[in-house]
C-alpha cells in the first residue's frame, strides 16, 4: 500500500523484473465508498503497513481488477466488486478518520435501489449512482441489498435484463433489438447471459 503523497518507485530490485497490477484511487474516492449521507469524515485515510499479507483481500482486489477489464461485465458489477474489495481493505488494514458509519434505513434504501435499477435496465448504472439514489453508502447498500433481495445489485440487474429479454422475445421482437432494449451492446452478450440464466439460448426459449 502506498499512501497519498508518499514517494516511491516501481523499478525491480533484481534483473529478473516483475509483473504487477496497480490500482490508483484518490483518498476522497475511498471515503466516498464508505460514507453515508449525513456522515462527516475529516482527516486522512491512512494505511500504516506498506506490505500486507492478506490473501483473501488480495483475491477480491485481483478479481475486481480483472473484472474492470472485462467487456462482458456491467458497470454495476465492476464498481460493486471494487467497492467490496476496498471496504475490506480499509476495514482490515486502514486507519479511518472516524469510526465506520452505521447503516441507515435498510428496507427503504434497498427499495429505492431496486426501483432505480428497474427503471434503468437499458443503461449501465454504476454502484455510486445507485447508492446516491438509495441514500446509502456503496458498501452498506451492497450488504443490505443482498440481505433483502438475495443477490448482489449487479446480479439483480442481469436477472431483470434476461427476464425482460425473454418477455420481449416471446412477443416476437428480433434478438438484436431486444439486446439493445435491455442494455447489451450486441446480441452475443445477451445470448451468453440468457443461456447462463435459463439454461437454453434465446432461440430455443422463443419456440
Question: pLDDT per residue over 164-193, tens digit each?
Answer: 998 899 889 999 999 999 999 888 888 988
Task: Find the length of the chain.
Answer: 207
Residue with the bigger pLDDT between 120 and 29: it is 120
Residue 197 confidence (pLDDT) above 60:
yes
What 17-21 contacts at long range (C-beta under 8 Å, 24+ apart), as own/partner pairs, is 21/62, 21/65
Residue 101 confidence (pLDDT) above 60:
no
Homologous superfamily assigned to 157-206: Homeodomain-like (1.10.10.60)
- Residues 36, 137: contact at Cβ < 8 Å? yes
Give the mean pLDDT of 197-203.
78
> Which residues make up the CATH 1.10.10.60 domain(s) of the chain?
157-206
3-class DSSP string for the chain: CCCCCCCCCCCCCCCCCCCCCCCCCCHHHHHHHHCCCCCCCCCCCECCCCCCCCHHHHHHHHHHHHHHCCCCCCHHHHHHHHHHHHHHHHHHHCECCCCCCCCCCHHHHHHHHHHHHHHCCCCCCCHHHHHHHHCCCHHHHHHHHHHHHCCCHHHHHHHHHHHHHHHHHHCCCCHHHHHHHCCCCCHHHHHHHHHHHHCCCHHHHHC
User: Whose CA is closest to 127, among 151, 157, 165, 101?
Assistant: 157
- Residues 135, 110: contact at Cβ < 8 Å? no
What would the pLDDT profile of 54-86 be if each residue is shown by its tens digit?
999 999 999 999 999 998 899 999 989 988 898
Its pTM stands at: 0.58
Q: Which residues, in sequence order, are CB contacts of 58 under 8 Å at separation 6+? A: none
In angstroms, the Cα distances linking 94 to 78, 98, 159 are 22, 11, 35
| pLDDT given for residue 97 in this prediction | 52
- Residues 79, 34: contact at Cβ < 8 Å? no
Confidence of residue 139 (pLDDT cuts 50, 70, 90): confident
CA dihedral 71, 72, 75, 81 (to 10 degrees): -110
Amino acid at each position: 500500500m502506498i499512501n497519498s503523497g508518499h514517494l516511491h518507485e516501481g523499478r525491480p530490485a533484481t534483473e529478473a523484473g516483475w509483473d504487477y497490477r496497480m490500482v490508483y484511487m484518490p483518498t476522497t474516492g475511498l471515503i466516498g465508498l464508505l460514507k453515508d449521507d449525513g456522515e462527516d469524515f475529516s482527516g486522512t485515510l491512512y494505511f500504516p503497513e506498506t506490505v500486507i499479507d492478506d490473501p483473501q483481500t488480495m483475491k477480491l482486489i485481483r478479481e475486481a481488477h480483472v473484472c474492470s477489464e472485462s467487456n462482458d461485465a456491467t458497470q454495476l458489477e465492476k464498481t460493486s466488486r471494487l467497492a467490496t474489495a476496498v471496504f475490506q481493505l480499509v476495514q482490515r488494514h486502514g486507519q479511518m478518520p472516524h469510526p465506520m458509519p452505521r447503516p441507515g434505513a435498510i428496507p427503504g434504501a434497498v427499495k429505492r435501489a431496486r426501483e432505480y435499477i428497474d427503471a434503468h435496465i437499458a443503461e449501465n448504472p454504476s454502484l455510486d449512482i445507485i447508492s446516491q439514489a438509495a441514500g446509502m453508502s456503496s458498501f452498506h447498500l451492497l450488504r443490505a441489498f443482498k440481505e433483502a433481495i438475495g443477490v448482489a445489485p449487479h446480479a439483480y440487474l442481469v436477472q431483470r435484463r434476461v427476464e425482460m429479454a425473454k418477455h420481449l422475445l416471446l412477443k416476437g421482437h428480433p434478438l438484436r433489438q431486444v439486446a439493445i432494449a435491455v442494455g447489451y451492446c450486441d446480441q452475443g452478450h445477451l445470448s451468453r447471459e440468457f443461456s447462463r440464466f435459463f439454461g437454453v439460448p434465446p432461440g430455443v426459449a422463443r419456440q
